[in-house]
Structure formats: C-alpha cells, structure tokens
Amino acid sequence: MPGLEGVDQYPGHLEAQMSLNLIFSCGRYIKNIVYVEKIRNIQHLQDRITSAIETVTRDMIQKTWQEIEFRLDVSRATKVAHIEM
C-alpha cells in the first residue's frame, strides 16, 4: 500500500489506516446517494444524509470490515510490501 513505508516504527499505524479506509468508503457510499439529486437547501441536505445513512446495513459494514481485515492480514504477511489487489 502506498504511503505505508516504515509502518513498523509506529505500532497501531496500519490498523488506524485501515479504519480510516472504512470511514472513507462509507463516506463515499453515502455521498453517492446524497448527491443523486440537486440539493435545494440545508434541510433537504440533512434529509438526504439521514436517508442515505439509513440504507447502510449491518451486512454492508461487516463485508467492508472483512475486506479491511483481509488487507491488513496481507499487509502484515508481506511486511507492507505493495501488492495489487
């Protein structure tokens, strides 16, 4: 993974990076739903965000987390060498 050089020097750094990936992937998913239509005002934006968050299922979160755990395991096994997924 790019940007993870020297990760062994910082315990927990890799796990933090993977957790951020989960947050960003959820954010991208929600953004894609929210902005499907033009936002009229702040209330409309709040309603769209709330609706988008309500579409996130437990299964989606579990699958995303499993993917992150897999990538974390691969990164540890390869000592954070860059590999194509």
| 0.85 surpassed by pTM | no
Side-chain-side CA neighbours of 11 within 13 Å: the count stands at 0
Local mean pLDDT, 10-residue blocks, the chain (85 residues): 48 68 84 95 96 93 84 76 56
pLDDT at 14: 66
